[in-house]
């Protein structure tokens, strides 16, 4: 009997420890990082008006509202000795008026703000034409949906990188144009110099017959591709430890600057 009583006493002691440990509050010290400038913008082929947006990141504990940054000095120049000081057209938004985007030229962005200087150089690649779009059956949805497939002829012997933007206007219960929020990028690492047909899978799901579609194919340089690739890893949870995307801007700012070509194609899904 004494042995059984001792066993019971020990059991109660262990259970008490377990219950106590389950109700203990653990305080986690979440360190706030120093806010950084975020610079985003592009020079597009054939355009003379180009927009650069400057915001500032926020502390971890703050609301998810990124303040626009006014009063910056923003300049874009090219390797043909053309240069323009951008005008702030709205809080945090700066625009050119006369600088023409031309294939093959290198464009340099210089931003001075808050006592800091940020620079980035991007070379506009050769435009690769989007030949056409067709749609294949969505084998997973089973509801008659279609998946978009762009066709392009990749130039041989040249490193090419592509970014796609998809939008849909539904034929049934239309809510106007809805833009896909996923990052869709491709390159020619395994398809150099061939006709490429690679489906686009995004967040808006399958297209349905009679839906209107828009697709923009952008040709970007290698460093801009790296930025969006690293951003997509964080978006999809593919990175072991989430981190800031690999920016092509020097000086410690986040974001990207791209000299690029763009082609728009639109139509109705049959």
Q: Which pLDDT tens digit goes with each residue over 213-262?
A: 999 999 999 999 999 999 999 776 544 455 788 999 999 999 999 999 99
Q: What is the pLDDT of residues 136-146, one digit of tens each?
A: 999 876 788 99
Instruction: State mean pLDDT over 3-12.
Output: 46
The helix/strand/coil state of 210 is: coil
Structural domains of the chain in order of their starting residue, each with its CATH number: 37-123 (2.60.40), 130-246+258-268 (2.60.40)
| Residue 222 burial (C-beta neighbours within 10 Å; 0-12, 13-18, 19+) | middle
**Per-residue pLDDT, 67:** 95
- The pairs formed by 167-170 with CB atoms below 8 angstroms and a separation of 24 or more are 167/213, 167/214, 167/215, 168/204, 168/207, 168/211, 168/212, 168/213, 168/214, 169/211, 169/212, 169/213, 170/208, 170/211
Q: Please answer whether residues 88 and 222 qualify as being in contact, where contact means their C-beta atoms are separated by less than 8 angstroms.
A: no
CA distance 120 to 226: 14
Confidence bin at 63 (pLDDT 50/70/90)? low
Q: What is the pLDDT of residues 25-49, one digit of tens each?
A: 444 444 456 889 999 999 999 999 9
Check residue 244 and give its pLDDT: 84
When pLDDT is averaged across residues 75-104 and rounded to a whole number, the result is 98
pLDDT of residue 249: 98
At 139 the pLDDT is: 84
DSSP state of 40: E
- Predicted pLDDT at 34: 82
Q: Which two tokens stand for residue 32?
A: 């706030």
pLDDT in tens, 96-109: 999 999 999 999 99
Per-residue pLDDT band at 3 (split at 50, 70, 90): very low
Residue where the block lists tokens 């030949």 = 131
184 has a pLDDT exceeding 70: yes
Q: Which CA distances in Å does 74 have to 34, 55, 85, 99, 116? A: 23, 13, 6, 13, 12
- What's the rounded Cα separation, in Å, for the pair 213 and 136? 14
pLDDT of residue 144: 87
- As a whole number of angstroms, the distance between CA 219 and CA 190 comes to 17
């Amino acid at each position: 009997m004494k042995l059984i009583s001792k066993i019971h006493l020990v059991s109660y002691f262990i259970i008490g420890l377990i219950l106590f440990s389950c109700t203990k509050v653990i305080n986690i010290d979440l360190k706030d990082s120093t806010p950084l400038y975020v610079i985003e913008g592009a020079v597009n082929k054939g355009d003379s008006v180009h927009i650069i947006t400057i915001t500032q990141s926020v502390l971890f504990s703050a609301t998810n509202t990124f303040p626009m940054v006014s009063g910056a000095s923003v300049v874009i120049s090219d390797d043909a000795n053309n240069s323009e000081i951008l005008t702030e057209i709205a809080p945090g938004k700066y625009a050119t008026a006369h600088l023409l985007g031309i294939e093959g030229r290198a464009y340099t962005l210089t931003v001075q703000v808050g006592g800091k200087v940020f620079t980035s150089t991007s070379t506009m690649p050769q435009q690769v034409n989007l030949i056409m779009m067709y749609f294949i059956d969505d084998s997973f949805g089973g509801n008659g949906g279609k998946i978009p497939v762009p066709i392009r002829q990749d130039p041989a012997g040249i490193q090419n990188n592509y970014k796609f933007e998809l939008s849909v206007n539904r034929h049934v219960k239309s809510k106007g144009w809805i833009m896909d929020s996923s990052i869709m990028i491709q390159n020619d690492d395994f398809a150099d110099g061939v006709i490429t047909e690679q489906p686009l899978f995004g967040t808006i799901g399958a297209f349905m017959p009679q839906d209107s579609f828009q697709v923009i194919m952008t040709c970007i340089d290698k460093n801009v591709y790296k930025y969006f690739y690293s951003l997509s890893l964080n978006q999809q949870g593919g990175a072991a430890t989430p981190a800031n995307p690999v920016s092509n801007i020097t000086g410690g700012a986040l974001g990207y600057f791209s000299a690029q070509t763009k082609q728009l194609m639109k139509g109705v899904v049959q």
